[in-house]
Structure 1
Amino acid sequence: MGVHGGPTGTTRRALRTTLAACAAFFVCLYGLDRPVAATYALFGVVSMAALSHVPGTGRQRAAALVRTAPVAWALVTVGSYLAVRTWSAVAGMLVIGFLLAFAAAAGPRAAGAAPGLQLLYILPCFPPYAPDTLVERLAGVTFGLALLVLAEAFVLPEPRAPAYRELAARAAVIAARCAGELGREPYRLSPASARAAQAAGESLRPFRVTEAERPAGPGLRDRALGHAGLAARTLLGRLVNLPAPPPGERPPDPEPELLPALARSATGTAALLRGPAAAIDPARTADDSDALRLVRARATARGADERPTTAARGLRRAAALEAADAALAFSTAAELAVRGRRADPPAETDPGRFWYAGQRAPRLWWHRLAAHAGPRSVYFQNAVRISLALAAARTVAGVESLPHGFWAMLAVLSLTRTTAAQTRATVRLALTGTLVGALVTAALLALVGGRTTVYAVALPFVMLLAFTVGPVRGVGWSQGMFTLVVSFVFAQLAPVTWRLAEVRIMDVVIGSLIGTVFGLLAWPRGAQEELHRAVALMLARAADTVEAATAGVAAGGSGAIPDDRPLQLAVSLAESAFAQHQSEPRPAAGTAPDWQAAILTGHHVLWGSRRLLGRGGRRLPGGEGGWLRERAGAVAALMRGAPDAAPPEAVRAGRAVPDLAPPRFFAALAWLDSLTRDVEHWTASGAGPEQRIPTR
Structure 2
Amino acid sequence: MAGVVKAPSGPQAPRASRAAVPAGYRRAGRRAVRVTAAAGGGFYLFLYAFDSVTAATYALFAAVALGGLSRIPGTGRQRAAVMLRAAPWSWVLITLGTFLAVRTWSAVAGMLVVGFALAFLAVCGPRPAGAAPGLQLLYILPCFPPYDPGSLGERLGGAAVGLGLLVLAEAFLFPERPEPSYGERVAAAARLAGHWARVLGAPPYALTAQDARAAHSAAQGLRPSRVPEPARPAGPGLRDRALAHSGLAARAVLSRLTRLGPPPAGSHGPGVLDAVARVTDETALRLTGEGTEVPGRTHEELARIRTALVTAPHSGTGPDSAPAQRRRASLLEIVDATLALSMAATLAVHGRTAGAVASPGRFWYAGRRAPELWWHRLAGNVGRRSVHFQNAVRISLALAAARLIAGVDTLPHGFWALLATLTLTRTTVAETRVTVRQALTGTLVGALVAAGLLIAAGSDTTVYAVILPFVMLGAFTLGPVKGVGWTQALFTVVVSMVFAQLAHSTWQLAEFRLLEVLAGSAIGAVFGLLAWPRGAHDEVRRSGAELVREAAEIVVATVAAVVAGGLREPRATAPGHRSLQHGLILAESAFAQFQREPDGAGRGVGVLRTGASSTDPDWQATLMMAHHTLWGSDRLLVPPPPPAGPDGPTVEPPLGREAAAEVQRLGDRVAGRMLLVSAAVDPGGDTPEAPVPLRDPTVAAGLEADPPDASPAYYVAVSWLDGLLSDLERITGTGKDGAAGPA
Report the TM-score, using the length of structure 2 for normalisation.
Answer: 0.88
Alignment of 1:206-245 (within 5 A): 206-245=224-263
Structure 1 Cα separation of the partners of residues 84 and 617 of structure 2: 40
Checking the alignment, whether the CA contact within 8 Å between 2:234 and 2:241 is kept in structure 1 is yes
Structure 2 Cα separation of the partners of residues 460 and 106 of structure 1: 35
Report the more deviating stretch, 219-228 or 639-648: 639-648
Structure 1's 425 and 77: CA in aligned 2 closer, same or farther, altered over 3 A? same
Structure 1's 519 and 304: CA in aligned 2 closer, same or farther, altered over 3 A? farther
Alignment of 1:114-129 (within 5 A): 114-129=132-147
Q: Which residue of 2 aligns with 1:135?
A: 153
Aligned with residue 367 of structure 2, among 358, 362, 369 = 358
Checking the alignment, whether the CA contact within 8 Å between 2:425 and 2:524 is kept in structure 1 is yes
Structure 1 Cα separation of the partners of residues 618 and 147 of structure 2: 51
Aligned with residue 293 of structure 1, among 294, 298, 303 = 303
Report the more deviating stretch, 182-191 or 145-154: 182-191
Identity of aligned residues (%): 54
Checking the alignment, whether the CA contact within 8 Å between 1:243 and 1:319 is kept in structure 2 is no
Structure 1's 307 and 41: CA in aligned 2 closer, same or farther, altered over 3 A? farther
Q: Which residue of 2 aligns with 1:259?
A: 273
Structure 1's 328 and 236: CA in aligned 2 closer, same or farther, altered over 3 A? same
1:355-385 superposed Cα distances (whole Å, 9 cap, x missing partner)? 1112111100000010000000000000000
Structure 2 Cα separation of the partners of residues 344 and 90 of structure 1: 45
Checking the alignment, whether the CA contact within 8 Å between 2:205 and 2:261 is kept in structure 1 is no
Checking the alignment, whether the CA contact within 8 Å between 2:186 and 2:222 is kept in structure 1 is yes
Q: Which residue of 2 aligns with 1:689?
A: none
Aligned with residue 324 of structure 1, among 335, 356, 365 = 335
Structure 2 Cα separation of the partners of residues 398 and 652 of structure 1: 72
Structure 2 Cα separation of the partners of residues 336 and 587 of structure 1: 34
Aligned with residue 339 of structure 1, among 350, 353, 361 = 350
Checking the alignment, whether the CA contact within 8 Å between 2:194 and 2:277 is kept in structure 1 is yes
Task: Give the deviation of 1:106 after TM superposition.
Answer: 0.8
Checking the alignment, whether the CA contact within 8 Å between 1:57 and 1:160 is kept in structure 2 is yes
Structure 1's 569 and 135: CA in aligned 2 closer, same or farther, altered over 3 A? same
Aligned with residue 518 of structure 1, among 499, 524, 527 = 527
Structure 2 Cα separation of the partners of residues 105 and 645 of structure 1: 38
Structure 2 Cα separation of the partners of residues 636 and 124 of structure 1: 57
Structure 2 Cα separation of the partners of residues 474 and 32 of structure 1: 37
Structure 1 Cα separation of the partners of residues 276 and 518 of structure 2: 63
Alignment of 1:498-509 (within 5 A): 498-509=507-518
Structure 1's 588 and 169: CA in aligned 2 closer, same or farther, altered over 3 A? closer
Structure 2 residues without counterparts, runs of 5 or longer: 1-16, 604-614, 640-650, 680-687, 736-743
1:498-542 superposed Cα distances (whole Å, 9 cap, x missing partner)? 111111111111111110110010000000111011101111111
Report the more deviating stretch, 414-423 or 650-659: 650-659
Q: Which residue of 2 aligns with 1:667?
A: 716
1:658 has 2:706 as partner: yes
Alignment of 1:135-534 (within 5 A): 135-246=153-264, 249-250=265-266, 252-253=267-268, 255-275=269-289, 280-282=291-293, 286-303=296-313, 309-346=320-357, 349-534=358-543
Report the more deviating stretch, 643-652 or 564-573: 643-652
Count matched residues.
676
Alignment of 1:578-657 (within 5 A): 578-586=591-599, 593-615=617-639, 617-640=652-675, 641=677, 643=688, 645-648=692-695, 650=697, 652-653=699-700, 656-657=704-705
Structure 1 Cα separation of the partners of residues 587 and 622 of structure 2: 9
Report the more deviating stretch, 88-97 or 672-681: 672-681
Structure 1's 47 and 323: CA in aligned 2 closer, same or farther, altered over 3 A? same
Task: Give the deviation of 1:645 after TM superposition.
Answer: 4.1
Task: Give the deviation of 1:114 after TM superposition.
Answer: 0.7
> What's the secondary structure of 1:350's corresponding residue?
coil
Report the more deviating stretch, 645-654 or 360-369: 645-654
Checking the alignment, whether the CA contact within 8 Å between 1:571 and 1:602 is kept in structure 2 is yes
The one-letter code of the counterpart of 2:632 is G
> What's the secondary structure of 1:582's corresponding residue?
helix
Structure 2 Cα separation of the partners of residues 446 and 586 of structure 1: 43
Task: Give the deviation of 1:563 after TM superposition.
Answer: 3.8
Structure 2 Cα separation of the partners of residues 79 and 314 of structure 1: 68
> What's the secondary structure of 1:653's corresponding residue?
coil
Checking the alignment, whether the CA contact within 8 Å between 1:311 and 1:657 is kept in structure 2 is no
Checking the alignment, whether the CA contact within 8 Å between 2:125 and 2:235 is kept in structure 1 is yes
Structure 2 Cα separation of the partners of residues 578 and 195 of structure 1: 26
The one-letter code of the counterpart of 2:386 is S
Structure 2 Cα separation of the partners of residues 386 and 305 of structure 1: 65
1:123-147 superposed Cα distances (whole Å, 9 cap, x missing partner)? 0023101111111111111111111
The one-letter code of the counterpart of 2:654 is R
Structure 1's 192 and 366: CA in aligned 2 closer, same or farther, altered over 3 A? same
Q: Which residue of 2 aligns with 1:682?
A: 731
Report the more deviating stretch, 626-635 or 660-669: 626-635
Checking the alignment, whether the CA contact within 8 Å between 1:103 and 1:114 is kept in structure 2 is yes
Task: Give the deviation of 1:67 after TM superposition.
Answer: 1.2
> What's the secondary structure of 1:8's corresponding residue?
helix
Structure 1 Cα separation of the partners of residues 86 and 674 of structure 2: 43
Alignment of 1:536-547 (within 5 A): 536-547=545-556
The one-letter code of the counterpart of 1:13 is R
The one-letter code of the counterpart of 1:468 is T
Checking the alignment, whether the CA contact within 8 Å between 2:121 and 2:128 is kept in structure 1 is yes
Greater share of residues in helix = 1
Structure 1 Cα separation of the partners of residues 20 and 631 of structure 2: 44
Q: Which residue of 2 aligns with 1:564?
A: 577
Structure 1 residues without counterparts, runs of 5 or longer: 687-696
Checking the alignment, whether the CA contact within 8 Å between 2:694 and 2:725 is kept in structure 1 is no
Q: Which residue of 2 aligns with 1:694?
A: none
Task: Give the deviation of 1:681 after TM superposition.
Answer: 1.3
> What's the secondary structure of 2:177's corresponding residue?
coil
The one-letter code of the counterpart of 1:130 is D
Task: Give the deviation of 1:651 after TM superposition.
Answer: 7.8
Structure 2 Cα separation of the partners of residues 578 and 588 of structure 1: 10
Checking the alignment, whether the CA contact within 8 Å between 2:594 and 2:600 is kept in structure 1 is no
Structure 1's 556 and 95: CA in aligned 2 closer, same or farther, altered over 3 A? same
Structure 2 Cα separation of the partners of residues 570 and 134 of structure 1: 45
Checking the alignment, whether the CA contact within 8 Å between 2:420 and 2:520 is kept in structure 1 is yes
> What's the secondary structure of 2:296's corresponding residue?
helix
Q: Which residue of 2 aligns with 1:13?
A: 31
Structure 1's 155 and 240: CA in aligned 2 closer, same or farther, altered over 3 A? same
The one-letter code of the counterpart of 2:629 is V
Structure 1's 330 and 407: CA in aligned 2 closer, same or farther, altered over 3 A? same
Structure 2 Cα separation of the partners of residues 18 and 158 of structure 1: 18
Q: Which residue of 2 aligns with 1:109?
A: 127
Checking the alignment, whether the CA contact within 8 Å between 1:527 and 1:580 is kept in structure 2 is yes
Checking the alignment, whether the CA contact within 8 Å between 1:231 and 1:326 is kept in structure 2 is yes
Task: Give the deviation of 1:306 after TM superposition.
Answer: 9.3
